[in-house]
Chain A
Amino acid sequence: MTSVFSSRLPVALGVVLVATLLTTPAAAQDQLRGDAPNDWLIQDATVLTVTNGTLETGDILVRDGQIAEVGQDLSAPSGVEVYDASGEYVMPGIIEAHQHMGISNVNEATNQVTAEVGVGDVLDPYDIGIYRALAGGVTTAHVMHGSANPIGGRNETIKLRYGVTNPDRLKMEDAPRTVKFALGENPTGLYGQGRDQVPRTRMGVEQVIREALTEAERYMEKQQAYQTGDRAQPPEHSERLEVLAGVLRGDILVQAHAYRADELLMLMQVLEDFGVQDLVFHHVNEGFKVAPELAAFGDDGAGASVFSDWWSYKFEVYYSTAYNAAILTENGVNASINSDIPGEQRDLFLQAAKTQRYGDLSDTQALSLITINPAKQLGIDDEVGSIEEGKAADLAIFNEHPLSVYTKPQRTYVDGVVRFDHEQDPDDMRLRVDPEGTVDLARDGWSRHAAHSCLKGVTHLRATHQGVTLENAE
């Protein structure tokens, strides 16, 4: 009893509790994660830096959660813990550019434009999916609003600091803000077919987006007029248009769910017309068809975050190819591979490896798809995405080469803190359980109906529609 209280001593906000006795898994988490060391020397590993080649028998010195030095035969300063990684492989922590784990809501599917909402307001640090992602070497995830609306809500880039329970501590503080757009069958199905509202077609999707951006332009003009004194009164405040104005100013990056070649071209044209330079497409199953156009967009090209090999789950992905990532890469498009569906975030290293079967990408090209490339797409490549001095010590350690099907993650570091350890971790890693509950009954397999994807939250809206569209909503 006393030990429970001792773990509840008041400490300053943001500092995780120090527990001396491990009476609960949460306390164990605190011990392991909150107060855990973030100074490490990882020794004698094969270091896959991604941006600077591979170092055999390499060492990584981590100080205060950052990569201080990468080299050979480094020695551990006092107070630095040593991890013997001989025979093992260290790669940069995997970056997942598209996920819906760790959030309480996915879709505000009531309105075609909901830029004002943000999943960052409803983060759920208790989601076991975060731990399971860590167990797959993932350290950063872009958790996204769903794809019900042509313009959805804001997404959040989170660090997988599993063990913390204050939702704010998951946020990656300096990550640029992003907003979700969605084209094609999801919005046209939901609004057009489901509710008899615009958009029913890809034509409608374009106009909804143009209208919203135009409104934002006017909003900005009014605000400016007020500030310069040309207008007597401030314009009516709009959280929605504030976000879209951020898009127009280039402060908020557009991350667009899209599949078909024509709609990719459409959105690029629309954004070009509004002077928006930053654009990452997600899923993009037909990206390969317009790879040169993607590469030519704006200053740096449009990014493409794709599935390794998912296709045929709906009509707009029927004419797909698993060679998509390879074609995009070879055409100079910054491509990443994502997993999207909670539960699928655990084997991104395998998904990246598939590009060696589908297109013969090199090891570095393949690893880039889940590290530096998504980091660039999220605007966080100066902090994460490769093993470089000065970057965050987000590291994934594997027993075999991470592109081997036989590899298994051993340890995952986030900001220099071990947040997954296959040796040490107990089975039950939940941070809380239902106080009125009993032992979980097992789920009967992985129900495709429950595999909530980009359309989570709109289920009952489509109850009258055919249920199958929901199974493979993304």
Chain B
Amino acid sequence: MMLIPMLSSDSVLSRALGLWGLLLLFGAGLLLPHATQAQNTPGAQGPYALTNAQILVTPSDTVANGTVVIRDDSIAAVGPNVSVPSDAETIDVAGQTIYPGFIDSGTHLGLQEVGSLSETQDFNEIGDLTSHMNALTAVNPNTVHVPTTRVHGITAVITEPETGMLPGTAALIGLHGYTPEQMHLGGVTLTKLDFPSIGRQGPSDDRAPETIEKESEEALDKLNEVWDAAERYAAIDSAVAVQPEARRQPTHLPAMESLVPVIRGEQPILISANAASDISEALDWAEERGVLDQVILGGALEGWRVADEIAAAGVPVLVGSIMQPPSRESDRYDKAYRTPALLHDAGVPVALRSGKTENVRNLVFHAGFAASHGLGKTDALRAITTTPARIFGVEDHVGTIEAGKRANLFVANGDPLQPDTDVQHLFIDGYKLPLDNRQTRLYDEFLNRNPGLEK
């Protein structure tokens, strides 16, 4: 292992490296303010050296006893024989394990504070055609839900808009930062399409099968009309670009404009579909529209029924929430838990999504259930680390504990999917973050309330 971090294409990193290189050369490390900074700061970058650790470099590659060096926002070095830089704060984590930060591939985190209060909900703009809405805009970096989530080792989430056919773009956000831009991870932006559903919308939906079919056909026609229009828009836009002076801009239609990157193959499209027939329909549609290569499938609760089709289409899937009853009353009771495994076995890349807001923290238990229901621990861990990183195209930045990647990782005193395990240290973008949050503070205050019964 190298002492000096690998060069990275990341400009911030290379600039930082220049500075650090100088400081190292002149032995100025001891004078660094960070090294002696108080522990109670909301978060501080290192350098840090986590020593005597078991390291889960990737879900299938574990270093039994090694060191991880964190410098700036990145992992500087990893391995059994890594030396601790002299300027680093050393944290001895003997007997504990370092895991790459977990990724939840579908949430509303940051977009809603209190479920029943619409004034705190920002994921559901009015209208069916709101593809120009960007979830990132409305992410509240200071939501009380962020600190309660990341202390479970979850360091990044996809946060999605909802309602309407084209609700807008979802974004991958890291769970530390004071502006949405600081949180935005790898620039990941996914245009979301809630594919028209022919499934029943729950037990109270008593529409006749014919009605459901008709309504879904109408919705599909509408989608095709929208797409036709968007393709026209893109074509005009391209034509104008050739001779900007001579040609007129298309009528300004932000919703259409927002679809241009998808039409041009520059942006992934996240298609939500759960019923088997919806999924098949969605894959056919994407192929017809020439966007199949860009498709990421979300939800896919019944994906197992058409796992072969999904595999043949080469489409990755963000499955979940799996912690729910199976989609049909006649289904086996554990079918939803098994869906990730059944998709995986068919050759589909599988990532997990909790679908939650304030309880994204339960992602770890979802992974545990997926593991025991056929996926196995290694692939369950992949489904919340390397696989989503690859699906979102950020595998060079996150998902494993390798030098050069972002320092998104945590230290746990056991299997992080087990309820009785505690996270001991947490790093996001190299910041060592406090493990308290409002829920732990309430615990601290009220476990032995003072005064108690008598004042």
Binding site for B on A (CB under 8 A): 128-129, 131-132, 135, 185, 288-289, 291-293, 296, 309-315, 318-323, 326-327, 330-331, 343, 346-347, 350, 353-354, 356-360, 403-408, 427-430, 433, 438-447, 449-452, 466, 468-469, 471-472
Contacts and interface: CB of A to CB of B under 8 A. Distances in A.
A427 to B, nearest CB: 4
6 contacts: A404-B418, A406-B418, A430-B329, A443-B205, A445-B299, A450-B204
B432 interface: no
Contacts of B334: 135, 408
In the A-B complex, the 9 residue pairs with the closest CB atoms: A450-B202, A405-B368, A314-B116, A313-B115, A444-B199, A323-B443, A312-B358, A356-B420, A353-B419
Interface of B: 113-118, 121, 144-145, 197-205, 209, 212, 274-278, 299, 301-302, 321, 323-325, 327-334, 357-359, 361-362, 364-365, 368-369, 371-373, 417-422, 438-440, 442-443, 446-449, 452-453
Contacts, number: 199
Contacts of A311: 358-359
A439 to B, nearest CB: 8
A471 B115 CA distance: 8
Contacts of B199: 441-445
B418 A405 contact: yes
B325 A346 contact: yes
Nearest to B272: A445
B325 A354 contact: no
A408 B114 contact: no
Contact of A313 (B116, B198, B420, B438): B116
A445 B373 contact: no
A330 to B, nearest CB: 6
A405 B369 contact: yes
Given A132-B333, A309-B359, A405-B365, A444 B197 contact: yes
Contacts of B277: 442
Contact of A447 (B121, B202, B278, B447): B202
Nearest to A355: B419
Contact of B212 (A132, A347, A441): A441
Contacts of A446: 202, 301, 321, 324-325
Given A320-B442, A468-B117, 20 more contacts: A131-B333, A296-B453, A318-B144, A319-B442, A321-B439, A321-B443, A321-B446, A323-B439, A331-B447, A353-B419, A358-B443, A403-B420, A406-B372, A427-B330, A429-B333, A442-B276, A443-B201, A444-B327, A445-B324, A469-B116
Contacts of A469: 116
Contacts of B302: 442
Contacts of B328: 440, 442-443
B116 A323 contact: no
Contacts of A354: 365, 419
Contacts of B453: 292-293, 296
Given A128-B329, A441-B198, A357 B419 contact: yes
A408 B370 CA distance: 11
